[in-house]
Chains A and B, each alone.
Chain A
Amino acid sequence: MEPRITYGAFAYDVAHLLGGGVLALSFVLLYQRRVTAVINTYAMQAVVLAMAAAWQGLVQGAPHLYVTALIALAAKGIAIPLALHRIVRRLDIHRSVETALGIFPSMALGVALVALSILVVLPTTMESQALTREDLALALSVVLLGLLMMITRRTALTQVVGFMSLENGLILAAVGVAGMPLVVELSVAVLVMIAFIVFGVFFFRIRERFDSLDVSHLDRVGGAHR
């Protein structure tokens, strides 16, 4: 079943609106000052992503995308946020987000990154549909914003959230392109990786050594301070 590729078609409008929602939530992630709010926003982003994947599954007639959607919803929308909340409670992590760059400057930088990704995506995809281009630009922006969040927020937890939001951008790009193989496998693999990073090593190692989750302490490993 071929997807309907007509400009302004309802199916594509909804897809782009959902993609835009994911991007807007990336900005909301950057805007948050509370760790719990960051986690909730991330969960919301995952839910919107799941909706986007499901919608793509519907309009592309690709049932495997429903699996992607289900993974996004169950794991990233529910399980991971719940676990993160538990970690925050158990480890008694400081509740406010420590920023390396102010909220507004990082937002402005984010808008600049979006403009940049548009400028990059447009010329390379000149032949394809205007709306597909918009979709790719959205996904690339989400990826870049995730990276931005990783470098402008200090605590390990927010960095992990930034990484996961980056990964959301990748999934968004993958589900948007019809006929992309291995979408499900990709999301599963990434999920496993996240699980490893999040629960396996990161928190407890830092917590044990430095009594804090501020990664800047890692800079001083082996230095004169400890």
Chain B
Amino acid sequence: MTLLFGLITQLLHVALMLAAGPVLIGAIRLLKARLLGRTGPHVLQPWRDLLRLFRKQPVLAENASWLFRAAPAAAFAAILAAAALVPTFALGMAGGPVADLLVIAGLLTLSRCILALAAMDIGTAFGGIGASREMTFSAFAEPALLLVIFTLALLAGTTNLDVIADALRGGTYGLRVSLGLALIAAVAIGIAENGRIPVDNPATHLELTMVHEAMVLEYSGRHLALIEWGVGLKLLVWMSLITTIFLPFGAAPAGASPLLWLAGLAAWAAKVGVLAAALATFETVIAKMRVFRVPEFLGIALLLGLLAAVFLFVSQGLA
């Protein structure tokens, strides 16, 4: 019975993530437009764009290799695999036992490396600029992320997300300075990993300031659609990750009845909605920073992650 429930929640979860990714992007765009006094596009506009792109035949550069053609699907698959492992409305999904935080981080890195390689495949300056900057940012973001994972693992005794989420949901650990610091670090990393302002501007059309957009400049048609979909999915993965760990209330426990799933769904939607609103507001009031400030920004996240771990040692009295 539990297995059946796990399978059903897993499938529902994946479908939900796939559907909601572009909606999240649409909602953020709409909110930002409203905050700037514009009417803004419809919430479903990203979905319409995606469907239109999927119906278009891609144009490849003359010297594009097989890697360039395979990269969008491969990168999307890596993000989707990560998305399948991050719980949303219910814990105890079929993928729960393998949902290791290090694996999730690794899958996201995998997708980034694939796209960075594809960016260099055509041999244009923009592709190189994007790949180089993306990999530099990730060199700073990953250690910070690992320190956050380190803190969580020290608390819960494992790096398995399902177990951590369950433990945090139970409220055994209460409010912790460490968790607060880890949350700040996680938000900073999430902003950088998803290429949001102030690290990167997802809406820019000025090549020299682009990071992620510069990487995918050569893509068109269904390839571009997969990449755009992946961007939305990845943002949703990050938001779900942050809500699961730091705002754990509301999610249905393992083996709970479908009625609780609905409650979990509502809670999750509310939490992600709040995060999306916060992100839109933040992006409206803040300016993009210079590229060489980003390592510093992520360095701060890294130091906060370190502080989180150190404070945990103090309060846990492991000494």
Which residues on A are within 8 Å of B, measured CB to CB? 8-10, 13-14, 16-17, 19-21, 23-24, 27, 31, 103-104, 107-108, 110-111, 114-115, 118, 122, 130-131, 133-134, 137-138
Cβ of B203 within 8 Å of any chain A Cβ, yes or no, is no
Binds A, one of B55-63, B82-90, B176-184, B209-217: B176-184
Known contacts A24-B184, A27-B304, A107-B303: A114-B176 contact under CB 8 Å:
no
Binds A, one of B108-116, B242-250, B265-273, B307-315: B307-315
Cβ of B299 within 8 Å of any chain A Cβ, yes or no, is yes
Docked complex Cα distance between A84 and B313 (Å): 39
Docked complex Cα distance between A28 and B174 (Å): 25
On chain A, the residues within 8 Å of B311 by CB distance are: 20, 118, 134, 137
B306 and A137 contact, CB distance less than 8 A: no
B306 and A111 contact, CB distance less than 8 A: yes
Cβ of B316 within 8 Å of any chain A Cβ, yes or no, is yes
B170 → chain A, closest Cβ, in Å? 12
B307 and A17 contact, CB distance less than 8 A: no
Docked complex Cα distance between A122 and B303 (Å): 21
Docked complex Cα distance between A16 and B175 (Å): 8
Give A103's nearest chain B residue, CB to CB: B296
Known contacts A10-B174, A107-B300: A134-B306 contact under CB 8 Å:
no
CB contacts under 8 Å to A, within B279-319, are: 295-296, 299-300, 303-304, 306-307, 310-311, 313-317, 319
CB contacts under 8 Å to A, within B180-239, are: 180-181, 184
On chain A, the residues within 8 Å of B307 by CB distance are: 23, 111, 114
Known contacts A118-B310, A134-B315: A108-B303 contact under CB 8 Å:
yes
On chain B, the residues within 8 Å of A21 by CB distance are: 180
On chain B, the residues within 8 Å of A9 by CB distance are: 174
B319 → chain A, closest Cβ, in Å? 7
Known contacts A27-B304, A31-B300: A19-B315 contact under CB 8 Å:
no
A114 → chain B, closest Cβ, in Å? 6
Known contacts A8-B174, A16-B175, A104-B299: A24-B310 contact under CB 8 Å:
no
Known contacts A10-B174, A17-B180: A134-B314 contact under CB 8 Å:
yes
Known contacts A27-B304, A104-B299, A108-B303: A16-B177 contact under CB 8 Å:
yes
Docked complex Cα distance between A132 and B157 (Å): 24
B190 → chain A, closest Cβ, in Å? 17
A137 → chain B, closest Cβ, in Å? 6
Known contacts A8-B174, A14-B175, A138-B177: A122-B319 contact under CB 8 Å:
yes
Known contacts A122-B314, A133-B314, A134-B315: A111-B303 contact under CB 8 Å:
yes
CB contacts under 8 Å to A, within B118-176, are: 172-176
